[in-house]
Amino acid sequence: MHDDSNSQAEEIWASLKPKEPLPSQCCGSGCSPCIFDTYQKDIEQWTRAKARADPSLLSGKSQQKKDLTNLSPDTFSAFQLESYDVLSEDTNLYRFKLPASGGLALGLGQHLVLRGVVHGLELQRAYTPISPVNTESSCEFLIKLYKDGLMSQYIQTWKPGDFMEWRGPFGGFPYKSNKYKQLLLIASGTGIAPMIPLLQAITDEEEDETFVKLVGCFRKYKDICMKDFLQEQSHFWNVTTYFALSQEGSLENLPWSYRDKTHIGRLDFELVDTLPLCLKRDKKNINMAFRITVLIHLLYVCGKVGSKKGVKCGGILSAPNGNVSSPNFPGLYPYNTECAWLIVVAEGSSVLLTFHHFELEYHAYCDYDYIKIYNGISEDEGNLLGKFCGDISPPQFTSSWNVMSIIFRSDRHVAHRGFLVGYRKDMCGGVLTGLSGIISSPGYPVEYSNNADCSWTVHVSNRTVVSLVFLDFQLENNEGCNFDFVALFDGPTVTHRHLGNYCGGNRPPNTVTTSNQLLVVFKSDFNIGGRGFKAYYYSGECQQVLTAISVNFTSPHYPNIYPNNINCHWTINLETGYRIKLSFANMQLEDRNSLTDECDYDSVSVHDGSSEADPLLGRWCGLERPPPLLSKANRLLVILNTDRNSAYKGFSASYTGVVPVNVSCTRTEFQIQISQQSLPQLERESVYLGNPSCSAQMTPTAYKILARFVNCGTAGQKRRNITVLVNTLFIDFSDGKQQNVQEYEVQCDAQRKVASVGIVSVEERNRLNELARRAVEASSGASVQEDSEPHDTSDIVFISICVLAVILMVIAIVWLVLL
C-alpha cells in the first residue's frame, strides 16, 4: 500500500513538472530572460516544491494574464486584437486594445515576444511596438508576413477579438533628450519599427533639438511603411527622410514630393558615406558631434565605417567567412589612410580572426601606422582587444559575440606591404583573449549536437594565470568519460599537462593553470546528449584572492577605462576572527538604466562572504561612491560586471583587516588582549597603547596590555554628554619596505565599566588630524587675541581714588588735632 501511494505521488509530481521548451520556441533575439532561463527557473521551483512535498510552492507560477499593466519578461500576458490594416501585400499594422487601467509603460526601442502554435509546434518571435511610449488606448505592431513563415501562418489566422500571448519588454535604446546633436537612422522594411517611437519622442519634445535623418530601404514606393507618419514627421525643422528603393524603375514613377529624396537602387556603402553631408538645414548650423546608424537591429557608428577619399577600403562584412586586407595589398599601402571594417555574423555565433600576413611601420607604442581590433563596435574603447604594428603578426582573436571591428590607420610617412587577415563565423571554439569570458557548449542550454568537436584556447597576459569555474554541467554520463566529455589541459595544446576529463551531471572542480594559457576541449559522440555546460574563465587580473592585512586594488587598467564584457572577482580572505573594512576612494562606471533606475549595465557589487550566494551589501554604478563597508566575518567578495559597451575609468578601493581586539576596563585601567594567531610574527613592541613606552606583554597565547588611566596618554572626552576615557591602540605591521600602522580608538565608561574599540581608517585619521589642527589654531588665536586686548583700568582708578581719599582724611584729622 505504501508503494502504491509513493507511485501515485510520483505520477502527480510528474504531471506538475514544467515542460522543457523546444528550440523553435526561442525567438532568437537574445532576450533576457530567454524562455530557457524561465524554464530553468520553473524547474528549480518544481524541484524545491517536490523536495518539500508541498505543491503550494508552485503557486508562484503565473498563469495567463489579461492585465497589460502587469507585463513581465518571464510570463505571458494576453493582448486582445482590436483591428488590423493592410499596408502592403506582405505587411500589416495590428492594433491591440489596452485596458482603461493604463498602458504598457515601455521604453524607447523595447520589443515584446509573441507566442504562437502552428501544427502543434510552439513558436516565439520578437516584435517592436510602434506606438508612442506613453500610449494608453492601444498598442500597434508593424508585422511582415512571409509566404512560408510558420509564425506568419499563425498571424494570418488572427481575427479581431482574439487574444494573443506576449511577454517582455526586452532591449531598448537609452535615449535622452538632446543627448546627441545628430542621429542617422537606417532601416530596411519593417525594421523601421524601433525608430518610429524614437522619432515620435524627439518631435513631441519641444526642447529637443536633436537633428534626425531617417533612411528607409524598401523594394518599391508602394512598399514604404507608414507613409503618412513619415511625411508628417519630415515637416519638422529637425527631421529629414530619405528612401532607397531597390526595385523601383524610375523616379518618374514617384510623387513629386519623393523624387528629390529617393535613391533608385540598393543602399550601399558609398551612399551611406554621403548621407551625413545632407544633414544640414537652414534652421540651425549644427556641427556633427555624434551619428548613429541603425541597420535593422544592429547599431553601429557610421562615421567610423569609412575610408580616405579616393581610397576604397572598409565596409560592413556579413558573409560567414572572408578576408580583409590593407589597400593595395600586397603592394605598399597608401599614406594618410584610415579604414574601418565592421564584421557581423549570425546571432549566437562569434567571429574568429586569423592573420596571414602582417607588415606595418614599427613604433614602440604603435603611434604611426597601426591596426586596432575591437570586440564589438570601434566607437567604444572598452571593446579594444589590442593595437598592433611592426612585422609580428597579432594572435588569433575570437569575439565574445557576433560583432567585431578592425581599424587600420597609416600616417604621412613610411609605408609597407600591410596585412591580410581572414575571418570566419565560429559556432564552437576559438581563441579567447579577454580578461574574462564565457565558454559554453553549442546551443546551451538547449541539448548540444552529436559529433561535436570544439576547442577553446584561453590566452591571457604573460604575467598571470587562468582560472576556470563551471556554472552548469550536464553531459552524457559514462565510466571513464570516453563518449561525451570536457577535457582540460594546462597549456595551449593537448600535449600539455592533462588536468582531467569530465562528464555526467557533477560540476568539475575549479581549475587554475600554472601558465597563462588553458585549452578546453569538448567532444560528443553520435547519440545521447545533455544540456551541456557553461563556464566562466578569468585571468589573474580579473580573479584575485587577497589575503594581506590591508591592500589597495583597482578595476582593470585603472585610471584608464576598463574593458567591456568582463566579470571580475576580488575575494578578500583573512584569518578567522578578523573583520574587513572596505572603502572606495573613487568610482566612475556607466550610469543607471534610465528605464528601470537600476545598475543594469556596469556595476560593482559587494557580498558579505566569499560567494554570490552570500548576503549582498550593495550594488553601485555611475558616480555613486559606496559608503565604508564592514563585514560580519573574515571574508568579502567584490564583483565588477560590465556589458558590451560604454566603458569608464572604473574604481579604486582599499580594505583593512580589523584585528579582533578584546578590550575591557575597570574604574582605573584598560585591559587589552589580542590573540597571537591574529598577529603572527609581530614583536611585542609593535603593539602599544598611546605611545611606544606602553607596549604589550606577551604570553604564550596573546599580546596583553594593562594600562592605568593616568599613564600612556589616556584622556577624558565628552561623548554624547558622557565623559569617557579615550586612547589609541597602535598595531605596526610595517615590513621595512612599506609603513603600515593600524590605529584603534579604545574607550572606557569608567562609571559603568564598559569598554569599546573601533578601527580608525586613514580617512578618519586625516579628518581627526584636520580637526585637531583647527582646534590648535583656534586656541592659539584666542590666546593671542586675549593678550592683545587692553585691560580694563576702571577698578584700579577707583581703588586709587579711595586710597587717596583716606590719606587726605587722615591728614585732615591730624591737622585738627594739632590745632
Cα separation of 172 and 29, whole Å?
12
* 108-130: average pLDDT: 82
Cell, residue 653: 578601493
Strand partners, 704: 673, 697
| Per-residue pLDDT at 722 | 82
Cα separation of 724 and 717, whole Å?
5
Cite the residue boundaries of each domain of the chain with CATH code 2.60.40: 661-765
Cite the residue boundaries of each domain of the chain with CATH code 3.40.50.80: 182-300
468: amino acid identity, one letter: L
Count CB atoms within 10 A of the CB of residue 129.
27
The region of weakest confidence among 178-187, 483-492, 577-586, 721-730 is 178-187
| Per-residue pLDDT at 366 | 93
Query: Could you give the C-alpha distances from 676 to 308, 572, 696, in angstroms and in order?
Result: 70, 21, 12
- The more confident residue out of 749 and 1 is 749
pLDDT higher than threshold 90 for residue 584: yes
Residues in contact with 554: Cβ distance below 8 Å, sequence separation at least 6, in sequence order: 650, 651, 652, 653
pLDDT higher than threshold 80 for residue 427: no
Beta strands at 430-432 and 702-708: parallel, antiparallel or unpaired? unpaired
Q: Which of 757, 768, 738, 760 is nearest to 656 (CA)?
A: 760
pLDDT higher than threshold 70 for residue 562: yes
For 162-210, strand residue ranges (E) read: 163-171, 182-188
Domain spanning 20-171: which superfamily? Translation factors (2.40.30.10)
| Per-residue pLDDT at 437 | 84
185: amino acid identity, one letter: L
Judge contact between 571 and 580, C-beta under 8 A: no
Taking phi over 0 as left and psi of -120 to 50 as alpha, with beta for the rest, 28 belongs to left
pLDDT digits (tens, 9 = 90+) for 281-336: 433 333 333 333 333 333 333 333 444 455 778 888 878 888 999 998 889 999 99
pLDDT digits (tens, 9 = 90+) for 261-288: 888 888 776 677 666 544 444 333 333 3
Q: Residue 722: is it exposed, middle or buried by C-beta count within 10 angstroms (0-12/13-18/19+)?
A: exposed
Q: Which of 187, 132, 121, 178 is nearest to 154 (CA)?
A: 121
Cα separation of 233 and 241, whole Å?
8
| Per-residue pLDDT at 33 | 58
* 456-462: average pLDDT: 85
- The more confident residue out of 742 and 298 is 742
Cell, residue 479: 565510466
Cα separation of 244 and 221, whole Å?
9
Average pLDDT of the chain, as a whole number: 81
| Per-residue pLDDT at 804 | 78
pLDDT higher than threshold 60 for residue 715: yes
Give residue for cell 493582448. 79
- The more confident residue out of 776 and 297 is 776
- The more confident residue out of 183 and 604 is 604
Band (408; pLDDT cuts 50, 70, 90): very high
- Please report, rounded to a whole number, the percentage of residues in the chain having pLDDT higher than 70: 82
| Per-residue pLDDT at 296 | 33
CATH number of 182-300: 3.40.50.80
Q: Which fold has domain 315-430?
A: Jelly Rolls (2.60.120)
pLDDT digits (tens, 9 = 90+) for 479-529: 888 889 999 999 999 999 999 999 999 999 999 999 889 999 999 988 888
Cα separation of 446 and 25, whole Å?
11
* 9-27: average pLDDT: 63
| Per-residue pLDDT at 118 | 77
| Per-residue pLDDT at 60 | 45
pLDDT digits (tens, 9 = 90+) for 779-796: 565 554 444 444 444 555
Planar angle of CA 490, 493, 495, nearest 5 degrees: 80
Report DSSP letters for 577-636, one per residue.
T-EEEEEEEEEE-PPPPTTT-S--SSEEEEESSSSTTSPEEEEE-TTPPPPPEE-SSSEE
| Per-residue pLDDT at 295 | 37
* 224-234: average pLDDT: 87
Quote the pTM value: 0.52
Cite the residue boundaries of each domain of the chain with CATH code 2.60.120.290: 315-430, 455-526, 547-658
Judge contact between 293 and 184, C-beta under 8 A: yes
| Per-residue pLDDT at 638 | 95
Judge contact between 403 and 348, C-beta under 8 A: no
Cite the residue boundaries of each domain of the chain with CATH code 2.40.30.10: 20-171
Q: Which of 618, 591, 615 is nearest to 604 (CA)?
A: 618
Dihedral angle sign, alpha carbons of residues 626, 627, 631, 634: positive
| Per-residue pLDDT at 276 | 55
The region of weakest confidence among 252-266, 679-693, 706-720, 759-773 is 759-773
Q: Residue 221: is it exposed, middle or buried by C-beta count within 10 angstroms (0-12/13-18/19+)?
A: middle
Cα separation of 400 and 101, whole Å?
43
For 427-541, strand residue ranges (E) read: 430-432, 436-440, 453-459, 466-474, 485-489, 498-502, 511-512, 517-523, 532-539
446: amino acid identity, one letter: V
Cα separation of 414 and 360, whole Å?
9
Domain spanning 455-526: which superfamily? Spermadhesin, CUB domain (2.60.120.290)
pLDDT higher than threshold 90 for residue 370: yes
> H/E element holding 800?
helix 794-818
Cell, residue 770: 584636520
Dihedral angle sign, alpha carbons of residues 589, 593, 598, 601: negative
| Per-residue pLDDT at 291 | 33
pLDDT higher than threshold 60 for residue 72: yes
* 82-91: average pLDDT: 89
| Per-residue pLDDT at 304 | 39
* 598-615: average pLDDT: 92
| Per-residue pLDDT at 325 | 92
pLDDT higher than threshold 80 for residue 25: no
* 82-106: average pLDDT: 82
Residues in contact with 472: Cβ distance below 8 Å, sequence separation at least 6, in sequence order: 444, 445, 507, 531, 532, 533, 534
Planar angle of CA 191, 169, 89, nearest 5 degrees: 30
Q: Which fold has domain 547-658?
A: Jelly Rolls (2.60.120)
Cα separation of 9 and 3, whole Å?
10
What's the maximum distance between 2 C-alpha atoms anywhere in the chain? Answer: 151
Beta strands at 211-218 and 182-188: parallel, antiparallel or unpaired? parallel
**661-765 CATH pick, 2.60.40, 2.50.20, 3.30.160, 3.40.1010:** 2.60.40
> H/E element holding 196?
helix 195-204
Omega before residue 559 within 30° of 0, cis? yes
Judge contact between 85 and 92, C-beta under 8 A: yes
Planar angle of CA 608, 613, 614, nearest 5 degrees: 20
Q: Which of 434, 460, 433 is nearest to 514 (CA)?
A: 460
627: amino acid identity, one letter: P
| Per-residue pLDDT at 387 | 93
pLDDT digits (tens, 9 = 90+) for 35-45: 666 667 677 67
pLDDT higher than threshold 70 for residue 798: no
| Cα 18 off chain centre by | 32
Report DSSP letters for 145-163, one per residue.
--TT-HHHHHHTT--TT-E
